[in-house]
Amino acid sequence: MSDKKLEEVYFFLLERTVRQFRKFSQRELSKREIDISGEQWVVLKRANEHPGVTQKEIAESTYKDPASVTRMIDLLEKRNFVVRKSSDGDRRSYGIHLTKEGKEFVQRVLPLAEEMRSFGLKNVSENDKKVFLEVLNKIYENLE
């Protein structure tokens, strides 16, 4: 196999793995009757980790399109999981805060999210995880 073909396979395998993890995660959430998408979960988790985080900061830190983040926050707001509050008196910028229901939901789902990540990494040695992170970061830096 030529070097060019190997490079194509690496990226194909990476994308395939990400898609498989998303499908696995959605199945596990559905089994437990947890009605949330993986994308919405990422937004909730960011708001939990950084109360008052802005929509722009969420989009940047999760590598998601700002319009998609806005739609997700709209949905989460309708479910009473988050509220938008003006940031530092700037009416154009809103901080995202979890509601009581949002905090309870995150606390309920967090152990499952950790379990799913652990399941995906089972049988992967600590050294392999370290090398994997190094390689992914090098590829990312190459593409910046």
Q: What is the 3-state secondary structure (H, E, C) of 28-95?
A: HHHHCCCCCCHHHHHHHHHHHHCCCEEHHHHHHHHCCCHHHHHHHHHHHHHCCCEEEEEECCEEEEEE
pLDDT at 79: 96
| 79-116 per-position pLDDT tens digit | 999 999 887 666 677 899 999 999 999 999 999 999 99
| Structural domains in the chain, sorted by start | 36-143 (1.10.10.10)
pLDDT at 48: 96
Rounded to two decimals, what is the model's pTM?
Answer: 0.81
